Structure 1
Amino acid sequence: MDRPESAIVSETAFQSALASLLRRADDNDVEVEGGWDCRNGEDHPDWDVIVTEVEKNADD
């Protein structure tokens, strides 16, 4: 059974959930760089999602 998702009610919560998703995928050797169409049915907009790896700053 899938676990319930936490509510995303702010940009900060969205960024945290997205970072967590990307880390979990990377930890499991899933290629996370690329582009995907995210189709969401009649009730929600569709999105084009692009993920690109960036270099870390020396301060990170």
Structure 2
Amino acid sequence: MTSAETPPTSKAELNAELKTLLITAYQNGIDVEGGFECRNGAEHPDWDVIVTEVEKNEHSE
């Protein structure tokens, strides 16, 4: 996300941002599977994000 974009304000918007980020990274040859620590300083919580590939089913987009 760039500063010119509107930040997500709902879970659906957050999911859409994550989907775009993961697809773009994958298309650029980045192995997106695994764990990522997101340390955010004293003023915000820290998060641990785990990305795993899942098997597609017939209902996948």
Structure 1 length normalisation: TM-score?
0.89
Alignment partners' CA distance in 1, 2:37 and 2:25: 18
Separation of aligned partners in 1, 2:27 and 2:6 = 21
How many aligned residue pairs are there? Answer: 59
Q: Hey, what does 1:37 align to over in structure 2?
A: 37
- Compute the displacement of 1:36 (Å): 1.2
1:8 deviates by: 1.2
Find out whether 1:3 has 2:9 as its counterpart.
no
> Counterpart amino acid of 1:44?
H
Equivalent residues in 2 for 1:45-60, closer than 5 Å: 45-60=45-60
Q: Which consecutive unaligned segments of at least 5 residues does structure 1 have? A: none
Runs (4+) of structure 1 exceeding 2 A deviation are none
- Tell me the CA shift for residue 24 of structure 1: 0.3
